[in-house]
Chains A and B, each alone.
Chain A
Amino acid sequence: MAVVGGTHDTFPKLLLRHAEAIGGHPAIREKDLGIWQAWTWREMRDEVEWLACGLAQAGLERGAHVAVIGSNRPRLYWTICAAQALGAIPVPFYEDAVAQEMVYVFQEAEIAFAVVEDQEQADKLLEIAPQCPRLKHIWYDDARGLRNYTQAGLEPYEKLREAGRAKAAAEPSFFGGEIAKSRGSDTAIMMYTSGTTGNPKGVVLSHDNLILSSRAYAELEGLRDDEEVLAYLPMAWIGQNLFSYAQWMVVGFRINCPESGDTTMTDMREIGPTYYFAPPRVLEALLTQVTIRMEDASWVKRRMFRFFMDHARRVGARLLDGRPVGAADRLLYAIGNLLVYAPLKNALGMSRVRVAYTAGEAIGPDLFVFYRSLGINLKQLYGSTETSVMVCVQPNGEVKPDTVGPPMKGVEIRVLDSGEIVLRCPGLFRSYYRNDAATSEAKDAEGWFRTGDAGFFDESGHLKIIDRAKDVGKLSDGTLFAPKYLENKLKFFPYIKEAVAFGQGKAEATAMVNIDVEAVGDWAERRGIPYSGYTDLASKPQVRELVRECVEKVNADLSRDPRLAGSQIHRFVVLHKELDADDGELTRTRKVRRGFIGEKYATIVDALYSGTAQCVVEAQVRFEDGRVGSIRAELAVDRAKTFAAQALAA
C-alpha cells in the first residue's frame, strides 16, 4: 500500500518522504517542445527547496498568501508546495479570470507575492497593481513578450530559483527546518469558491482536511504509486487540486501536464492515464467529437458502431458491475471489444483507465452509460470545496446513473425537512477567510455543514441530489419546481449547451436555451441549412423545431414522475447569444447564474409569460479583449407540448 500515514501530516513532509523512498521515480512530466520532460521526486524536492528558499529570501512569511495563476505547469505546482513548506498559504486563481475579478481576492487576502505563468497573467496583475498596493513581487514562468517590461518587482522565475539555490547551498538545513515547523492542522491552501452571488469566499483548508480526504479515496480505490494522471483542469478548482495535487502527494503517483489547452486530447492518448477525473462537460465534449466523427465514417463502420454500441448499452455496464451475463452476450461483447470498444477507448485515451470519476455537475444518464458500457469504470462522486470533495462516492459494482452513491467512511449525512443536505466529515473546511458570519451560517457549533444542496436517500441508501436547496421553489399552484433538474434534463441533449429554467411563483415553467453550436452546426450542415454564426443558426426555424423536440421529450419524461409532472416546460426561447462567464451570465465553473440572467433578460422572461410570439432584446457583450459591444436581436417564443401526468402504475 502506497498510502502514507503517521508523521507525514503536511504536503511538504510527504514530498520529503517520496524523495527518500521513491526518489528516482518520475513525479511530474510536462510536454515541452514536443517531448515529455520528466522530473523525479528527488529533482522536484530540490526545485521546491530552491523555490522555497527564494521566496523566503524575498520576504515571504509564515501565514502570508501567495497567488498562483496559470494553467497546469510543474513550476506552479512547485510554487504551491514551496509556499506550504514555508507555512505560507497558496491561493490559486482561475487562469481565465479577468483582471477586475482578481482585485477583490488580492485585497482581501493581502497578497504580496504572485507566481504567474506568462505575459497574459502578468499583464492582468500589472493592470490591477494600483488597486492592490500590497502586491510587491510578480514572478513569471514564461518570459515570452516580457523582455522589455521594466516594472519594479516583475522578475523571471529563474531569478527566484537562482537566488533560492544560493541560499539553499549556504543554509542546507533551512528547508527541512521550515517544513518541520508546520503541523497537519495548519492551513494548507485557500480556494475561492466561484460564488453564484456576491463576492467569492475564501475556503480555508488544512493539510489534515486534504490529506484525510485523499487517503480515503486512495484506500477505497487501491491507488498505487504507478498511476498516471493527466493534470489538465483549472488549478483553482478543488477537484483538480485534490486529484492532481493532494492525492498525488499522498499516494506518490505521476501527474502529466499537457503541452497546451488545445493539445489535451493528443497528450491524453500519449500518456494513457490510469486514473482519470473529468467534469461532465469534458466527457460530453469527447462524446460529441466521437459522434461527429462517426457520422463522417463509412457506411460499414457506422453500422458496426451502432450495432456494437447497442449491444454494449445492453450488457456492458452489467459486465463492469460483475453481474451475470449470458455466454452468447459475453462472446458478442468480446468481438465488439476487438472491433469497436478497444479502438474507441484508444482514440479517447482511455485504454488504461482503471478508475474514472466525474463530479461538479449532474451527468446525463446516456452520457454516463456510454462510458460505462465501453468498460470504463466511470463513477460519480459528490463533494464541494468546503468538504475537500469528500462526501459520497459510488462503490464498484453499485453504480447508478442518477445517484452519487452512499456516504464515504467517516462522513455523516442528514437530510433536513426542507430537503437540504447537512453533513459532518473529516475533510470539512476550517472557515471562510475573514468571514465569520458566512462561516457560522454554513457550519454550526457541532460541525454540521449546510451543503445548500437538496436531495434525498433512495431505497438502497444512495444519495440523490436534485438541485440547490435555495433554488428549489414552487409554482404558483404549489407544484415543486426544481429549475436545475429541468436544466440538466435539457442539457443532456447534445444539441443543447445551456438552459435556464424559470417558474418560481409563476403558473407554469419556461426555459431559455443555448444551442450547442458544434453539434447543431453539424446537424444543419448535413441538412444543407446555411448559417453564418451562432446568432443566425439559433434563429433558424428548423433549429427551433429541433429544440422543441428536445423540450417535449423532457416534458414526457417529467410527466412520469408525479412530483415533477406539474413543472413541465410550456414555452421556451432559443437565445441569440451564448451565455458567457465574461458577461457574468455563467460562473467561472460554467454554472448558470439564474437570477442575474433573469434580470438581464427581463424582456425575454416577460415575453415567455405574456404569450407574445416575438420579443426584441438588446444585450451588452464583452469581447475577449475587454471591449464592450451590444447585440440586438428579435427572438421567437415557442410553445412546447405538455403531457398529462401519468400515475406511477402506468
Chain B
Amino acid sequence: MNLRELEPGTVERKLGAAILAVEGISLSFGGVKALSEVSFDVREHEIRAIIGPNGAGKSSMLNVINGVYRPQQGRVTFMGETHSQMEPHRAAARGIARTFQGLALFKGMSVLDNILAGRNLMMKRNLLWQALRVGPALREEIEHRRRVEEIIDFLEIQHVRKTPVGRLPYGLQKRVDLGRALAAEPRVLLLDEPMAGMNVEEKQDMSRFILDVNDEFGTTIVLIEHDMGVVMDLSDRVVVLDYGRKIADGTPDEVRSSQAVIDAYLGVKH
C-alpha cells in the first residue's frame, strides 16, 4: 500500500536543487573498507533512502554526512559549502539533525525536557541568565517552550508530555527521538532505522509522521531503513549500497527492477 496514493489530489511535490552532495567518499577502518568511491546527492525537500544488506556501509554513510567519521577521500557539499570533512557540531549548527538506531534520550527526563534539550544549540542566553530566569532569558524560554509544544502537538504525544521517557513503550520513545531531532529545526534530517523493532501499526504511524514532517516543514530527509515496503512507499529516490559500493541509484521503481540490486539481496549464482 502506497501512502501517497491514499491522498487523493496530492500535487507533485516541488523538489529543489541539491542541498547535500557526497562525492567519491572512501572510508576505511584499518584494512576494512567501509565505503569506497560513493557519490550521490540529496535534493531539497526530498525523501532520500539509503538501503543495502547488513554491513553495506549505510550507517557509516550517515556518520560521514554529519561529520562523526572522517573519510579518507572524497568531499561533502552542504548548502554550497564543500568540506573534505564535516565537524559534528558544525553539521548540527548548520542544520543537520539526526535520530539514532539505538535511542539517544535521557531516560529519566520527561518527554518535554528531552525535546527541549534538542533546542540546546539555539539557546542564546548563557547559563547565568537562564538560572536567574529574568527578562530576555524568560522570554527566550517561553519561545522555546512554544516551539517544543508545537512539536509535541505535531507528533501527538500530548498525553505523555510529562512522563519520563524511560517509562514509555519503544514506539513512543522513537517518536520522542524524532521530536528531539525536529526541535533543532533542521534543514536536513538523518533518520537511522526509524522503524527498527516496531510493529506494523507503529510503522504506519511513523511513516505518516515522516511524510508529515517532509510536507509541513519542508524538511529534507535522508533515511536508512530495512523494511523494503516502507522504503519504497516513502522515498522519492533510493541509493543502494553493497559492500561499501554504490550499486544503484534512482526512483523506487528503477531500483526495484535493477539486476544488481536483485543480485545483492537475493544472492547470485556463481
Q: Which residues of A contact B (CB under 8 A)?
A: 32-35, 123, 126, 144-145, 147-151, 259-260, 262-263, 266, 625
- Determine whether the beta carbon of A147 is less than 8 Å from that of B158: no
Interface string of B154-177 (1 = CB under 8 A from A): 101011010000000000000000
Q: Could you say which residues of chain B place their CB within 8 Å of the CB of A263?
A: 158-159
Q: List 11 A-B contacts (CB under 8 A).
A: A33-B150, A126-B9, A144-B212, A148-B11, A149-B7, A149-B10, A150-B10, A150-B11, A151-B9, A260-B158, A263-B158
- Determine whether the beta carbon of B159 is less than 8 Å from that of A34: no
A123 to B159, CA, bound (A): 25
In the complex, B87 has a CB within 8 A of chain A: no
Q: Could you say which residues of chain A place their CB within 8 Å of the CB of B153?
A: 32-33
Closest to B208 in A: A145
- Determine whether the beta carbon of B216 is less than 8 Å from that of A260: no
- Determine whether the beta carbon of B146 is less than 8 Å from that of A262: no
Q: Could you say which residues of chain A place their CB within 8 Å of the CB of B7?
A: 123, 145, 148-149
Interface string of B206-250 (1 = CB under 8 A from A): 000000100110000000000000000000000000000000000
- Determine whether the beta carbon of A151 is less than 8 Å from that of B8: yes
| Shortest distance from the beta carbon of B170 to any chain A beta carbon, whole Å | 17
- Determine whether the beta carbon of A148 is less than 8 Å from that of B204: no
Closest to B145 in A: A34
Known contacts A33-B146, A33-B149, A34-B152; A149 and B215 CB within 8 A of each other: no
Q: Could you say which residues of chain B place their CB within 8 Å of the CB of A151?
A: 8-9
Q: Could you say which residues of chain A place their CB within 8 Å of the CB of B154?
A: 144
Contact residue among A35, A148, A262 (Cβ-Cβ distance under 8 Å from B215):
A148
User: Which 8 pairs across A and B sit closest by C-beta, in order of nearness?
Assistant: A262-B159, A33-B149, A34-B149, A263-B159, A150-B9, A148-B10, A259-B158, A151-B9
Interface string of B103-147 (1 = CB under 8 A from A): 000000000000000000000000000000000000000000110
Counting residue pairs across A and B whose Cβ atoms lie within 8 Å, the total is 51
Q: Could you say which residues of chain A place their CB within 8 Å of the CB of B6?
A: 123
Q: Could you say which residues of chain B place their CB within 8 Å of the CB of A35?
A: 149
- Determine whether the beta carbon of A147 is less than 8 Å from that of B216: yes
Chain B interface size, under 10 / 10 to 19 / 20 to 34 / 35 or more: 20 to 34
A266 to B163, CA, bound (A): 12
- Determine whether the beta carbon of B212 is less than 8 Å from that of A145: yes
Q: In this complex, which of A34, A35, A148, A150 has the most chain B Cβ atoms within 10 angstroms of its Cβ? A: A34
| Shortest distance from the beta carbon of B203 to any chain A beta carbon, whole Å | 12
A149 to B9, CA, bound (A): 5
> Interface of chain A, helix or strand or loop or mixed?
loop
- Determine whether the beta carbon of A145 is less than 8 Å from that of B215: yes
A144 to B149, CA, bound (A): 15
| Shortest distance from the beta carbon of A76 to any chain B beta carbon, whole Å | 18
- Determine whether the beta carbon of B9 is less than 8 Å from that of A266: no
Closest to A142 in B: B153
- Determine whether the beta carbon of B159 is less than 8 Å from that of A625: no
Q: Could you say which residues of chain B place their CB within 8 Å of the CB of A262?
A: 158-159
In the complex, B13 has a CB within 8 A of chain A: yes
| Shortest distance from the beta carbon of A356 to any chain B beta carbon, whole Å | 24
Closest to B157 in A: A262
A269 to B256, CA, bound (A): 53
Q: Could you say which residues of chain A place their CB within 8 Å of the CB of B10?
A: 148-150
- Determine whether the beta carbon of B159 is less than 8 Å from that of A126: no
- Determine whether the beta carbon of A148 is less than 8 Å from that of B146: no
Q: Could you say which residues of chain B place their CB within 8 Å of the CB of A148?
A: 7, 9-11, 13, 215
A144 to B215, CA, bound (A): 9
Q: Could you say which residues of chain A place their CB within 8 Å of the CB of B8?
A: 123, 126, 149, 151
Known contacts A148-B7, A151-B8; A266 and B159 CB within 8 A of each other: yes
A32-B153, A34-B152, A148-B215 given; name 4 further pairs at CB < 8 Å: A33-B152, A145-B216, A148-B10, A260-B158
Q: Could you say which residues of chain A place their CB within 8 Å of the CB of B216?
A: 144-145, 147
Q: Could you say which residues of chain A place their CB within 8 Å of the CB of B212?
A: 144-145
Q: Could you say which residues of chain A place their CB within 8 Å of the CB of B150?
A: 33
Contact residue among A32, A34, A145, A147 (Cβ-Cβ distance under 8 Å from B161):
A34
Q: Could you say which residues of chain B place their CB within 8 Å of the CB of A259?
A: 158
Q: Could you say which residues of chain A place their CB within 8 Å of the CB of B215?
A: 145, 147-148
Closest to B147 in A: A33
Q: Could you say which residues of chain B place their CB within 8 Å of the CB of A625?
A: 204
